[in-house]
Chains A and B, each alone.
Chain A
Amino acid sequence: MQIRDYIIRRLMILPFLIIGTSIIVFALTRIGGSPIGIYLSHEMSPAEVQEMKERFHLDKPVPIQYFYWIKGVAQGDLGWSGVASAPVIDVFPKKFAATMELAIAAGIVAVSLGIAMGTFAGARRNKFADHVIRIISVSGASMPLFWFSILLLIVFWVWLGWFPIGRSDPNLFEAIAHPTGFYTIDALLAGNLDAFKDAVWHLIMPAVALGYGATAIIARMMRSSLIEELQEDYVDAAKAKGLPKNVVLKKHARRNALVPTVTVIGLTFGFLLQGTVVAEIIFRWPGLGRWMAAAVLRGDQATIMTYVMFTSILFLIVNLIVDVVYANLDRRVELGD
């Protein structure tokens, strides 16, 4: 089958998969009970509770509730988030952008520091610098994120007062428009350097806390790959040709050592996204992780369903892309059979 036909066929199946997924997600969240509790206070009378049920169609049988929900979704209404006190559709893009901005910043910290440290240590195997970097790596990989985050918070926010928590200075936030939800990008688009510096300043602490664990993983991978590469014959040949040590290291050995490291970097992005929950809670970062943690604890089903549906659809699309890329890379793979 041609790739074009395969993509069309998969795209035609996609809506059915999404509807199927939505039924499963809806049923699974309802197994935990009615979501009405998130809309109530403990002083509400039974009559008031009944009115709230009617407002959110929770007085209807579950299949009818699903109908109302899917109808709302089709009209862009993802329900009301009791945790955020706002429609999910209004909140989700902002929280998603906040989390992605943090994860990307943490990724930049992890990749730049990890590769640099791994290279530095690998080139100085068993020397003092190597031992120091290994200790840093081991501590980064083994230190609980919450503990490290609190440590950073105490030292740099409370004690030294160098870095703020939260996501932005409220006055600078108000001064610019937010078309993307990524404050750094919004500030650049607005041409407001102060807002950009403020956004970066707010990012540093949570990004370092979150990126430290991944830094350690990347550095260790880079170090061991580099050590292996430095033992290869082509490195000896390059040295014998009289190439400077630095050129051999950076142009030859490091380039090859990056191949397995890049694979690890790809995997670490998932690790970073998981870590945002803890980092967002401790650094008061208004992202998806903190919102979702509160939603799970408080039974905010509209929020949970949106999140699960979002990740499910993302997974379906990514799967499709992977299939197509894989078929392109390896022509022996037959699509669609």
Chain B
Amino acid sequence: MRNILIIAHSILLGLFLTVGVNAQTIKNPGVLVHAADDEATTLDPAQVEAGEGGETVILQVYDRLLEFGPSGPELIPGLATTVPSVENGMISDDGMTYTFEIRKGAVFHDGTDVTAEDVKFSWDRIVEMDLPEGQAGVISDIVAETKVVNDYTFQVTLLEPSASFLNSTVVSMAASIVSKDAVMANGGIVEGEPNEYMAQNAVGSGPYKLKAWNRGENILLDINENYWGNKAKLAARIEIGAEPDVRVLGLRAGNYDTIETDPSFVADIEGADGVTLHTGGLLLEPIHVGFNLNIPEGALPKEDTIPTDFFHDPRIRQAFNYAFDYEAFLYGPLAGFGEFNPHYLPIGIFGHDPNAPRYGAQDKAKAEELFRAAGYWDNGFSVSVITEEANLFADAALVLKDSIEDLNPNFRINVLAVAEAVFDEAHAQNPVEYAMWVKNADPFADPHPYMSAYQHPDGEWGEVHGFANGYRNPEKIAELIDGASTELDVKKRAAMYSELQKMLFDDPMWLITAQEGVTMAYREWVTGFVHNPLWPRPSLRFSYLDK
């Protein structure tokens, strides 16, 4: 019986390896078929979470005032005809006022004209709705006032000068421009309540029109024949819910044109007939281990022996950073697709200093020296790290466990790999009742959101995790982060981030395991393939593609 099973499995493997189609036979002509990872939650720019599946559709069906171009962080005009600058007079000298000339002739999918009134309405709407799952803060944290100057001129006044306004706020999916008429005819604006119509429909002005959203099956996008810019060449169909293996099989068979995948499937894709593996570039979502400096008394799991102020000591945080086996993670779970990353400013983001010191290699001797100095070497410790199960975060937690326990038999790391919903609930507590966790960051195009959210002692997470309890000089770090956000001189700003990176090397609040590489796969018959990590995942604008 065992032999029969072995033979059967061999046949199956053989079939799998011979899978392939004639590369010349284009399947599904006229339609780009993309196999997505999961379902969208909402299509409303005022409700969508950063990094969520709905952003994939919003990118295609809505326009913003400005967009990221195809080859990186450069901004190109969207519904605004010009990228504002001090030189062209559309940014005031004090950096407080931005003027946008709105494109004449742009129309929404419902046939109404796009005007400055729609732009103001769209931006004000997200702030007024202020949904907890949405990204109202992208606008409300930075914008003091929006103003319609005339039908085709829109003006924004900021709370303070900002170096990140254009490439963080204006291009964000939350700042997509919706049809005022469509919203007002379908529920209008209610503070704190999602708009059901907008969650399930899309009335934008982008190169695609939403044709249908068949939940659990597919999302169909039609070409917008009235688009003001370069029209899409292919209609698009986003296939939802295929298992990762099925997506790979579908790509190899030519049933899918592009798929979302991860490094663990590279071996199944490499060398497949008619398939191109795109591995250029890096994702902007550093995978990190968090240290809790705000542990409530008596809250930790009973296995944990550490005191609540364990991570207040910078030597402990440094020791963890030196002890981690970066190579094991990069060349194991990431299959070599990625880079060692020094800190919270990912490679590819303005201000990243390649010469700044970094924890890119395991140094056991240094880790031992620091643990000894902190007084934990002889008696050891036990600490739990919580993470989502069955993904790269769990892998990173296991590498951490191996790294630390290999250092000293008295050290113990308990990996708690739990369902995503359980992790999200645990991580959303204030204060968090675990000493450590593993997850990734949201991607941003500007250094300020990274620094503000993840390093500032009074920032979104700095406050929750008690960073002020552990920084050697929290005032200086806060001053640098705040100063860099309003510094409009590019050189001065870069120097400030460089100094921050040096300080954060000595005083790390995270352990950055790696910066994951891009692994996209598509059929060779797809032409015009461009991938920009600054676009929401899968970082593709379908309108650029043809086949």
Q: A residues near B, CB below 8 A?
A: 33-49, 51-52, 55, 82-86, 91, 95, 147, 150-151, 153-155, 157-159, 161, 164-168, 170, 173-174, 281-282, 284, 286, 290-291, 297-300
Contact = CB atoms under 8 A, between A and B. Distances in A.
B425 A158 contact: no
A40 B419 contact: no
Contact of A158 (B133, B249, B420): B249
A142 B17 CA distance: 25
A164 B255 CA distance: 9
Contact of A36 (B16, B250, B252, B425): B425
Given A158-B253, A174-B211, A298-B419, A42 B424 contact: yes
Interface residues of B, number: 53
B39 interface: yes
Contacts of B412: none
B427 A42 contact: yes
B425 A165 contact: no
Interface hub of A35, A85, A173 (most chain B Cβ within 10 A): A85
Interface in B119-175: 132-133
Nearest to B1: A142
B171 to A, nearest CB: 19
Contact of A49 (B132, B214, B439): B132
Contacts of A159: 15, 18-19, 253
Contact of A157 (B52, B253, B460): B253
A37 B253 contact: no
Given A158-B249, A299-B422, A282 B243 contact: yes
A168 B239 CA distance: 12
Contact of A290 (B42, B216, B422): B216
A41 B50 CA distance: 9
Given A85-B41, A166-B218, A298-B420, A290 B237 contact: no
Nearest to B441: A43
A150 B8 CA distance: 13
Contacts of B252: 158
B86 interface: no
Nearest to A287: B216
Chain A's interface: helix, strand, loop or mixed, by majority? Answer: helix
B132 A51 contact: yes
B530 interface: no
B12 interface: yes
Nearest to B212: A174
B212 A299 contact: no
Contacts, number: 147
B213 to A, nearest CB: 10
12 contacts: A37-B419, A42-B423, A42-B439, A46-B430, A49-B132, A84-B216, A85-B41, A153-B249, A155-B15, A170-B218, A284-B246, A286-B241
A291 B428 contact: no
B246 A151 contact: no
A154 B15 contact: yes
Closest CB pairs A-B (n = 4): A37-B421, A46-B430, A48-B132, A286-B216
B217 A286 contact: yes
Nearest to B431: A46
B49 A297 contact: no
Contacts of A298: 419-421
B442 interface: yes
Interface in B203-247: 211-212, 214-218, 220, 237, 239, 241-243, 245-246
A166 B49 contact: no
A113 to B, nearest CB: 21
Given A161-B253, A166-B218, A298-B419, A37 B425 contact: yes
A161 B21 contact: yes
A40 B421 CA distance: 7
Given A154-B15, A170-B217, 19 more contacts: A35-B421, A37-B420, A37-B425, A45-B428, A46-B464, A52-B133, A85-B40, A91-B216, A150-B12, A151-B12, A154-B19, A155-B15, A158-B250, A158-B252, A165-B250, A170-B214, A173-B214, A284-B242, A290-B216
Residue from A154, A155, A157 whose CB has the most chain B CB atoms within 10 Å: A154
Contacts of B421: 35, 37-38, 40, 82, 298-300
Contact of A52 (B42, B132, B464): B132
A36 B439 CA distance: 19
A281 B241 CA distance: 8
Contacts of B424: 37, 40-42, 44
Nearest to B245: A150
A39 B521 CA distance: 31
A291 B428 CA distance: 26
B88 interface: no
A282 B249 CA distance: 11
B192 interface: yes
Contact of A291 (B132, B216, B419): B216
Interface in B11-52: 12, 15-16, 18-19, 21, 39-42, 49-52
A86 to B, nearest CB: 6
Contacts of A39: 133
A156 B127 CA distance: 51
B439 A170 contact: no
B379 interface: no
B429 interface: yes
A38 B425 CA distance: 8
Scoring B19, B216, B249, B422 by chain A CB atoms within 10 A of each residue's CB, the highest score goes to B216
A43 B218 contact: no
A40 B428 contact: yes
B423 to A, nearest CB: 7
B422 A37 contact: yes
Contacts of A173: 214
Contact of A84 (B12, B215, B430): B215
A44 B246 contact: no
A170 B220 contact: yes
A23 B16 CA distance: 49
A154 B419 contact: no
Interface string B255-298: 10000000000000000000000000000000000000000000
B39 A85 contact: yes
A157 B340 CA distance: 40
B216 A44 contact: no
Contacts of B132: 44, 47-49, 51-52, 55
